């Protein structure tokens, strides 16, 4: 049975842990607010770019010609996995890794290479059979546009040069503070935009310069926007998961402190009762 000193030491340890988890919860909440603002800013911009591509395709009379749209027989695929640099965010990383492993199982017959974003994904896959050809870490849970451009340049160069035939992204789409959804999305080749077929509205565009030159100017920005949007969604989901996990840890620490305090009081009361019995027994023995 634990002594009073041991129980008191455990209470102090849990109390210190509770202060740490509470502080981490507050930090995660502050980071989540900033990350959520970035998500709200990035989504409309990405949606507007999709709309521009659709309008351009509807007004173009010829075939869309740009390397990012080139579809060829898939002999090699690249999987980009976006996880976190740090842990203590609940099941966030485990869910991303599980989805990536399922994707790899589905593409077992294809030559696959991996690009990791975040230390946790790299720690897992650098020991696996699939080669990790690129790794970017130390994001600090915030978007770094220079790093994002490096990632995009690396991926687009490999696709254009023919080193890979398809690039897929795995990231988490932020829905709310307590909810996110893991998304598997094709990055390259870019899915050709749907041409609007509306008989009531006829749009006639005059292109200056040619549609191909406009695509050449538009596509690099589109690729960066798509990557940045995926990253800010992933970071917001990470902060939300960490805030919830640390909140639960703080609550559990409080419950544990209540239980330990009750055990301490019981043990202390038992010790006092034992001492009283010894005193009474000694007094009775002296009388006899």
Whole-prediction pTM value? Answer: 0.84
pLDDT digits (tens, 9 = 90+) for 54-74: 777 665 555 667 788 888 899
Residues of the chain with CATH 3.40.1380.10: 27-243
Count CA atoms within 13 Å of residue 36 on its CB side: 15
Task: Answer with the residue of higher pLDDT: 197 or 135.
Answer: 135
Question: Do 253 and 25 touch, CB atoms closer than 8 A?
Answer: no
Q: How confident is the model at residue 245 (pLDDT cuts 50, 70, 90)?
A: very high
Q: What would the CATH number be for the domain defined by 27-243?
A: 3.40.1380.10
CB 174 within 8 A of CB 39: yes
136-150, 162-176, 190-204, 205-219: which has the minimum mean pLDDT? Answer: 190-204
Catalytic residue among 32, 89, 100, 243, which?
89
Residue with tokens 């988490």: 172
Task: Check whether 199 has a pLDDT greater than 50.
Answer: no
Model confidence at 30: pLDDT above 90: yes
Q: Would you identify the CATH topology of the domain 4-22+246-287?
A: Helix Hairpins (1.10.287)
Residue-level pLDDT at 263: 86
Please write the tens of the pLDDT for every residue from 145-158.
999 999 999 999 99
Where, residue-wise, is CATH 1.10.287.80 in the chain? 4-22+246-287
89 is catalytic: yes
């Amino acid at each position: 049975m634990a002594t009073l000193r041991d129980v008191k030491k455990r209470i102090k340890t849990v109390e210190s842990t509770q202060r740490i988890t509470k502080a981490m919860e507050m930090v995660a909440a502050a980071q989540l607010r900033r990350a959520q603002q970035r998500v709200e800013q990035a989504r409309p911009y990405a949606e507007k770019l999709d709309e521009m591509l659709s309008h351009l395709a509807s007004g173009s009379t010829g075939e869309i010609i740009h390397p990012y749209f080139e579809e060829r027989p898939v002999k090699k695929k690249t999987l980009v996995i976006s996880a976190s640099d740090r842990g203590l965010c609940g099941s966030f990383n485990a869910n991303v890794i599980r989805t990536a492993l399922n994707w790899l199982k589905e593409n077992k017959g294809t030559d696959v290479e991996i690009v990791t974003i975040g230390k946790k994904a790299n720690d897992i896959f650098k020991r696996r059979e699939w080669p990790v050809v690129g790794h970017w870490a130390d994001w600090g849970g915030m978007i770094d546009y220079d790093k994002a451009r490096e990632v995009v340049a690396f991926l687009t160069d490999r696709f254009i040069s023919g080193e890979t035939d398809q690039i897929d992204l795995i990231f988490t789409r932020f829905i709310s503070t307590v909810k996110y959804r893991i998304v598997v999305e094709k990055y390259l080749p870019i899915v050709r935009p749907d041409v609007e077929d509306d008989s009531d509205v006829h749009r006639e565009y005059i292109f200056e310069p040619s549609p191909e030159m406009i695509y050449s100017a538009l596509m690099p920005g589109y690729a960066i926007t798509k990557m940045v949007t995926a990253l800010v969604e992933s970071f917001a989901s990470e902060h939300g998961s960490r805030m919830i996990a640390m909140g639960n840890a703080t609550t559990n620490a409080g419950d544990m402190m209540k239980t330990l305090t009750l055990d301490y009081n019981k043990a202390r009361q038992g010790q006092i009762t034992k001492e009283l019995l010894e005193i009474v027994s000694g007094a009775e023995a002296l009388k006899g």
